[in-house]
Amino acid sequence: MRDDVFIAVRANSLNVYHRGASIFRIDDGGGGRIIPWTHTKYLIRQQQVLAQLHDDGHFEPSDIGWSQYAGPSTLSDMIRSATDLAGAEKSGLHPLIVGSSKVIDVELSLLRASSTLDESLPDADVQSSDTTSIDRAQDRLDVVTVENRGGKPFIVFHEAKHFSNPALRAKGEPAVLAQIVRYQATLRQHDATLRQRYVAVCQALVRLRTMRTAARTALPANRPLLEPDPLIAAIASGQAQAEIDPDPRLIVFGFDGDQRDGRWERDAKRLRDHQPSLKIRAIGNTRSAREFF
């Protein structure tokens, strides 16, 4: 069992994410069967092998990708491929996700406020034939967490931007602010459905935790799993009813000390000047962060 992946619960499937990449979508095949899917781009073998291009146009060797799942060695290559393909934002956000006990969802897809919520939206890597039309009408939020506010649990949503992202700055109003406003409308419209959804998500996470703990027992050399926030079990059992926070938080990361005291300080001021109620959290280096959320 690896610590560097996050299992996200969907309506009829599970998505296994590494650095924002869905390296597996696991569907319910019925009758106790599961059907895992992955994108072929994650199946490249990582050992250094030269492929010769022959006169007839074929490559040799032709088996440069995995054609059979061989356990940890295949999974390691898939994660390596996902790491190589990930951009700065997904790579920088990853340590904050796997290092927090409060994260309950990632890469959340919602149809925008003018549409209806569809929890079976396809993920970005394992696509269906109608993905293009859906993509134009959906919002994606990077991270969902639980938060205790005076004994009351809240479901909180986060949009992450690397410091280099031009959406954070402009001579006029930065583009990220319109994105946040759109997310607010979407979250408010789907409030009731999201409440139900995250009860079911927390229940599934509790079951997954039990399964992962049992698997770890057979591998005593592995370090203990990160303990989930107690709010997750409380929401799952019905002991606590969570509220939906419709105001996403903006996470900004990937800057050094000079950039923090210079350019980012100015950028943050401009963002708050345009949207005073905006909730911003900033962190320079995410690699060593624990319990950021």
Instruction: Quote the pLDDT of residue 126.
Output: 56
Distance of CA 30 to the CA centre of its chain: 26
Instruction: Quote the pLDDT of residue 249.
Output: 97
Instruction: Quote the pLDDT of residue 245.
Output: 98
pLDDT one digit per residue (tens) for the chain, 293 residues: 688 999 999 988 999 999 999 999 999 999 989 999 999 999 988 776 778 888 999 888 767 889 899 999 999 999 999 999 999 999 999 999 999 999 999 999 999 886 654 544 445 455 544 445 555 688 999 999 999 999 999 999 999 999 999 999 988 899 999 999 999 999 999 999 999 999 999 999 999 999 988 888 777 666 778 899 999 999 999 999 999 999 999 999 999 887 878 899 999 999 999 999 999 999 999 987 888 99
Element (H, E) at 100: none
3-state helix, strand, coil in the chain (%, to 5): 35, 25, 40
The 10 Å Cβ neighbour count of residue 222 is 13
Distance of CA 269 to the CA centre of its chain: 28
Burial class from Cβ neighbours inside 10 Å (0-12, 13-18, 19+) for residue 219 reads exposed
pLDDT in tens, 223-243: 778 899 999 999 999 999 999
CB 198 within 8 A of CB 156: no
Element (H, E) at 250: strand 249-253
Instruction: Quote the pLDDT of residue 116.
Output: 53
Alpha carbon distances (Å) from 260 to 94, 253, 272, 282, 289 = 21, 10, 16, 9, 17
pLDDT in tens, 155-198: 999 999 999 999 999 888 999 999 999 999 999 999 999 999 99
Instruction: Quote the pLDDT of residue 90.
Output: 94
Instruction: Quote the pLDDT of residue 181.
Output: 96
157: closest CA among 224, 110, 222?
110
CA atoms within 13 A on the CB side of 31: 2
